[in-house]
Structure 1
Amino acid sequence: MSTKERKHPAPPRYDEAFKAGAVRMVTEQGRPSREVAAELGICIDTLRSWLKAAGAPSPGQADRQNRDARRLRELEAEIRALRKKLEEKDGVIDILKKSVGILSKP
């Protein structure tokens, strides 16, 4: 079969900088691999092979780790906010206890 008779065109060639950038978007920025592939206009399998070649965790594992890390940050922020509210409420309770003591004295 000659080149002109091919049913599918040859896949495009990407330079190393493009590949490295795509891998960084998933590994360092924590973006889902499907989202990155769609944004860059590449096949998800192509991105997965680049991630594998770069020694990055598998995309599913990387996405899971990114979601877990994001959820952990959200929970830590919520804990800080709740502790601050609790501290404020404890202050209000202390003031109310003192005012009750003052008002109950004959």
Structure 2
Amino acid sequence: MRVIAGKRRTYDAPFREGAVRIVLEKGKPAAEAARDLGVHEGTLQTWVHRAKVRADAEAAGGLDESEREELLRRREESKSLRRENAEIGMERDVLNRSVALWVKACVAASAWCSPWDVWGSALDNAAAESFPSSIKVEYIRRHCFATRAEPG
């Protein structure tokens, strides 16, 4: 049989269950059953292992298949929410830092003013417009290159 790269054979549930029953109930070795069925030995052993784990969980009163799927879905959701929360925290830190720098510049200028006032008239509009982009650069620097905590 010629196997095309990237193509995987799929087997329906009744076929898999029947193959597992042959190994578990009839006691036929997995390698022999796999050869007879035309399935890779490792694939059949995986099916048998999953069936044993499922049977042990049911005997112990554990989670059924739908509950396990729900648990996995909720874990994925929690993981993505933690990731999003960390990103929002970094954005907050960047904004706090930019505000702190702005306030420091205002204090140095001894007046409450906007960032554009602090830079004075010597700077052109391009420099004034770069203030928001400097926040973006700081965010990217923290997001991509966060290797250690910065002293605060």
1:32 is matched with which residue?
Answer: none
Distance verdict in 2 for CA 1:95–1:12, change over 3 Å: same
Aligned mates of 1:63, 1:101 — CA distance in 2 = 57
Q: CA deviation at 1:98?
A: 1.0
Q: CA deviation at 1:102?
A: 2.0
Between structure 1 and structure 2, the one with the greater Rg is: 2
TM-score between the two structures when normalised by the length of structure 2: 0.39
1:76 is matched with which residue?
Answer: 82
2:48 is matched with which residue?
Answer: 19
Aligned mates of 1:82, 1:60 — CA distance in 2 = 33
Q: CA deviation at 1:54?
A: 2.9
Aligned mates of 1:19, 1:90 — CA distance in 2 = 56
Aligned mates of 1:85, 1:13 — CA distance in 2 = 54
Aligned residues: 68
Does 1:54 find its partner at 2:56? yes
User: Identity across aligned pairs (percent)?
Assistant: 9
Aligned mates of 2:98, 2:19 — CA distance in 1 = 66
Aligned mates of 2:95, 2:73 — CA distance in 1 = 33
Q: CA deviation at 1:79?
A: 1.1
- Extract unaligned runs of 5+ from structure 1: 1-10, 24-46
Distance verdict in 2 for CA 1:104–1:50, change over 3 Å: closer
90, 94, 101: which one aligns with 2:100: 94
Q: CA deviation at 1:50?
A: 6.8
Aligned mates of 1:58, 1:87 — CA distance in 2 = 43
- Extract unaligned runs of 5+ from structure 2: 1-16, 25-44, 112-152
- Secondary structure at the counterpart of residue 18 of structure 2: coil
The one-letter amino acid of 2:48's match is K
- Cα deviation 1:57-84 (Å, max 9, x = unaligned): 1111000000011111111111111111
